[in-house]
């Protein structure tokens, strides 16, 4: 895959501080007070629906097996731009997070990869903002925007399938492009033969430069 390499970022969080207790000093002349019996609190059962850090945010990065890839609603775009909103939904019962750029590749009907130039830097449609951490509870979605310029002279090959690899993973999710958006390879040197890709974002608006 040509273009600017994508980089994933992760955020660390510290746990809560340990509670401390103080006791009064007892002089050598005073008898020690009798020990007060204590009982341990009943432990809460482990959660079966989330995996979170002490601060209540997802502890583990999302894996391909936890995510569903779909196309979002059409977006308003400048003249000449062909953009597509991608939606990543956590369908698992476990909370997870993503931080960084996804890998995106387009394929034609024969299964051949389109020789597009892929960029992770932003353009007229795609945000120029750096990646941020996106926490996904079960059933919550994150968003990625892709954009390319139209083919003015010719469409050498048309994209029919999109594959997306979540940040810090190696397995792809697949999406059929049939009836969604015209995303084709225009030929070498054509401005329409490049594809811009946004970082994973928590909202649709955050994926956009407009």
Q: What pairs with residue 185 in β-bridges?
A: 157
| Spatial CB neighbours of 173, under 8 Å, sequence gap ≥ 6 | 64, 67, 68, 69, 88, 163, 164, 165, 166
**Two tokens, residue 100:** 């960084």
Q: What is the pLDDT along the chain (210 residues), one digit of tens a residue?
A: 434 333 333 333 333 333 333 333 333 333 444 443 333 333 333 333 334 444 446 789 999 999 999 999 988 888 889 999 999 999 999 999 999 999 999 999 999 999 999 999 999 999 999 999 999 999 999 999 999 999 988 899 999 999 999 999 999 999 999 988 889 999 998 989 999 999 999 999 999 997
Picking from 12, 10, 71, the residue whose alpha carbon sits closest to that of residue 204 is: 71
CATH 3.30.110, domain 64-207, yes or no? no
The residue written with tokens 């040509």 in the block is 2
User: What is the separation of C-alpha 145 from the centre of its chain, rounded to a whole number of angstroms?
Assistant: 11
Compute the C-alpha angle 141/194/88, nearest 5°.
Answer: 10
> What's the pLDDT score for residue 57?
67
**Two tokens, residue 196:** 């811009």
> What's the pLDDT score for residue 142?
98
Q: Environment class of residue 179 by beta-carbon count within 10 Å: exposed (0-12), middle (13-18) or buried (19+)?
A: exposed
**Pairing mode, strands 194-197 and 117-119:** parallel
Cβ distance 133 to 157 under 8 Å?
no
> What's the pLDDT score for residue 74?
87
Reported as a single tens digit per residue, the pLDDT across 14-56 is: 333 333 333 333 333 334 444 433 333 333 333 333 344 444 4
């Amino acid at each position: 895959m040509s273009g600017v390499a994508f980089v994933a970022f992760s955020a660390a969080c510290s746990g809560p501080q340990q509670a401390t207790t103080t006791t009064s000093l007892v002089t050598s002349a005073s008898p020690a007070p009798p020990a007060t019996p204590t009982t341990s609190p009943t432990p809460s059962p482990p959660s079966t629906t989330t995996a979170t850090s002490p601060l209540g945010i997802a502890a583990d990065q999302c894996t391909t097996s936890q995510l569903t890839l779909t196309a979002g609603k059409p977006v308003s775009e400048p003249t000449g731009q062909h953009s597509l909103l991608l939606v990543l939904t956590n369908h698992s019962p476990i909370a997870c997070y993503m931080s960084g750029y996804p890998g995106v590749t387009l394929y034609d009907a024969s299964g051949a990869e389109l020789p597009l130039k892929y960029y992770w830097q932003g353009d007229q449609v795609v945000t120029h903002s750096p990646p941020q951490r996106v926490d996904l509870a079960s059933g919550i979605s994150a968003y990625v925007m892709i954009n390319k310029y139209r083919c003015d002279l010719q469409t050498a090959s048309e994209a029919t399938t999109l594959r997306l690899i979540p940040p810090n993973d190696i397995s792809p999710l697949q999406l059929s492009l049939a009836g969604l958006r015209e995303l084709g390879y225009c030929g070498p040197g054509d401005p329409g033969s490049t594809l811009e890709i946004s970082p994973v974002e928590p909202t649709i608006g955050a994926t956009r430069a407009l």
